[in-house]
């Protein structure tokens, strides 16, 4: 058995920046179906799309002849896969409509306004040799029960297509793009970002030109940086060393108020301050929610505990990791006024009640970028000072890959159920003060530090998240947590 430990004491993130999947299957993760291009392009792309469409038809959610909107990111395999998706849609008696290359939230926004289903061909932040499908019903992102139903439809039928890729029946690219940008033009004054000079790290983001356009429309001076003709897997939860170096280099070379970007399909923002220092996604989410005046925020258990202590929100609701869980909890909290949901990766989901902003219950990168920049313009303070005012604690994370998931599961089950065992494991850290079992096992020790173990649902890996007052303490905790995990995964404990 081979074990790979990716740990970086300076970054404390998923150091290789790669989301690994089993090489023998395609699986649903926290957002859509993903896998190697070699496993997706061809009959699998057709068959999974066919299963999704059949599920909706059998439920009566859509009817024969209805449109299904299809978008894609800029990775090299996306055009071919999108044509296979279109072929499957047509085979179901539906109308495949091409949205072209555009942000996932732009496609979703357009389709939801028309009460139509949609599919985004994207692997998000994972490398170019991988890709995926994000499915949307007419009401929004598929839920976890929807995933189960799609899998059942897929397993209940023999493969129905072996080759070939068809054409689209119609085109909605320009209309979808305009509607998406108009959403922000309506919500912000034309001079909302006046006086700001903002670097736009373009890399291979599908939003690279749109982002510069909306910044200019709102009065900022956008500066294009790092445009790439090949796909760059920018992960807003696990920046590569070269991304970190570039942000600092650009900030040192130019007088910038911030540097902004997105992941590949533009549903996660990347924001760096005037020094080129990365601003955590959950902190960007908190700034966004504050700017919009939300009293209730919904976020996964992996977001910073300072959300409960920063006194910016009347209620903080915690969920499992994954946008479907956040969206479900947002719906439950809708009676409490404006609800903003966000994940640790920075993707923001908006419920009803925001002035001049239509709801968009799917991850979006533009809204948090614009709200964060608007705070700089309003407060006339550097972004580093605004971020510091939230007093977020130091958080680091890493993972073990290719582990024995049975052994890992046994360890987590024992941590959950055995109080005495849990106390022994954490006795050197002051003992256990609180236990949170929403997603994995999240332990808060006596001094307020946090260690959180969470197994992946679709890969042989386990993640460790830690939170502490100082960076040194967080690094110490993370190293300890990974050592504990490795011992249990190898049976050497």
Can you read off the two tokens belonging to residue 11?
């970054």
| Structural tokens at position 9 | 């004491």
CA distance 437 to 175: 44
What are 329's two structure tokens? 């909890």
Q: What is the CA angle 265-270-274, rounded to 5?
A: 150
Gap between the Cα atoms of 106 and 159, Å rounded: 31
Is the distance from CB of 212 to CB of 222 less than 8 angstroms? yes
Joined tokens for residue 144: 């976890």
What distance in Å separates the CA atoms of residue 317 and residue 326, rounded to the nearest whole number?
9
CA atoms of 453 and 488, how far apart (whole Å): 12
Distance, CA of 258 to CA of 351 (rounded, Å): 27
Q: Where are the alpha helices (DSSP H) in 60-193?
A: 78-91, 104-113, 144-155, 173-187
Reply yes or no on whether 124 is catalytic.
yes
Q: For 443-459, b where at least 16 C-beta lie within 10 A, e where not — what string?
A: bbbeeebbbbbbbbebb
DSSP string, 320-367: -SSHHHHHHHHHHTGGGS-EEEE-TT--EEE-TT-TT---EEEEESHH
- Between strands 296-300 and 339-342, the pairing is parallel
DSSP per-residue codes, 383-396: HHHHHHTT-PPEEE
Give bridge partners of residue 452 from the DSSP assignment: 442, 465
Whole-angstrom Cα Rg for the chain: 22
Q: What is the DSSP letter of 278?
A: B
Out of 78, 82, 124, 204, which one is annotated catalytic?
A: 124
| 397 strand-pairing partners | 465
Q: Which two structure tokens, joined as six digits, stand for 486?
A: 């490795």
Q: At 203, which helix (H) or strand (E)? A: strand 197-203
444: which 2 tokens?
């808060």
Write the DSSP symbol of residue 10.
T
Active site residues: 124
């Amino acid at each position: 058995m081979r074990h790979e430990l990716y740990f970086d004491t300076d970054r404390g993130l998923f150091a290789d920046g790669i989301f690994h999947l089993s090489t023998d299957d395609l699986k649903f993760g926290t957002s859509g179906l993903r896998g190697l291009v070699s496993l997706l392009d061809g009959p699998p792309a057709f068959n999974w799309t066919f299963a999704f469409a059949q599920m909706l038809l059998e439920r009566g959610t859509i009817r024969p002849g209805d449109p299904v909107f299809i978008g894609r990111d800029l990775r090299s395999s996306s055009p071919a896969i999108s044509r296979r998706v279109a072929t499957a849609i047509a085979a179901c008696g539906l109308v495949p409509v091409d949205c072209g290359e555009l942000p996932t939230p732009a496609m979703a926004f357009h389709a939801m306004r028309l009460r139509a289903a949609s599919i985004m061909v994207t692997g998000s932040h994972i490398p170019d040799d991988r890709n995926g499908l994000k499915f949307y019903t007419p009401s929004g992102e598929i839920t976890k029960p929807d995933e189960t139903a799609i899998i059942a439809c897929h397993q209940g039928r023999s493969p129905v297509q072996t080759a070939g890729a068809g054409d689209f029946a119609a085109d909605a690219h320009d209309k979808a793009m305009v509607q998406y940008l108009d959403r922000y033009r309506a919500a912000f004054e034309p001079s909302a970002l006046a006086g700001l000079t903002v670097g736009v790290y373009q890399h291979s983001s599908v939003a690279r030109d749109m982002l510069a356009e909306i910044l200019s429309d709102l009065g900022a001076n956008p500066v294009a940086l790092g445009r790439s003709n090949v796909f760059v897997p920018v992960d807003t939860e696990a920046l590569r060393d070269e991304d970190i170096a570039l942000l600092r280099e650009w900030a040192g070379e130019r007088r910038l108020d911030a540097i902004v970007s997105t992941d590949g399909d533009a549903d996660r923002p990347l924001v760096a301050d005037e020094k080129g220092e990365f601003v955590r996604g959950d902190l960007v989410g908190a700034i966004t929610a504050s700017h919009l005046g939300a009293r209730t925020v919904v976020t996964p258990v992996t977001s910073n505990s300072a959300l409960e202590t920063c006194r910016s929100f009347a209620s903080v609701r915690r969920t499992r990791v994954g946008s479907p869980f956040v969206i479900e909890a947002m719906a439950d909290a809708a009676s409490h006024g404006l609800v903003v949901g966000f994940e640790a990766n920075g993707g923001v989901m908006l419920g009803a009640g925001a002035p001049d902003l239509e709801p968009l219950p799917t991850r979006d990168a533009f809204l948090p970028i614009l709200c964060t920049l608007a705070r700089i313009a309003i407060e006339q303070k550097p972004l580093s000072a605004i971020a510091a005012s939230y007093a977020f604690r130091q958080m680091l994370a890493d993972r073990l890959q290719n582990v024995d998931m049975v052994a890992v599961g046994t360890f987590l089950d024992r941590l959950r159920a055995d109080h005495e065992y849990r106390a022994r494991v954490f006795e050197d850290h002051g003992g256990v003060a609180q236990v949170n079992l929403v997603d994995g096992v999240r332990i808060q020790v006596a001094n307020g530090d946090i260690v959180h173990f969470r197994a992946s649902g679709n890969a042989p890996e386990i993640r460790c998240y830690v939170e502490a007052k100082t960076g040194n303490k967080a690094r110490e905790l993370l190293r300890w947590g990974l050592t504990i995990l490795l011992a249990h995964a190898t049976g050497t404990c």
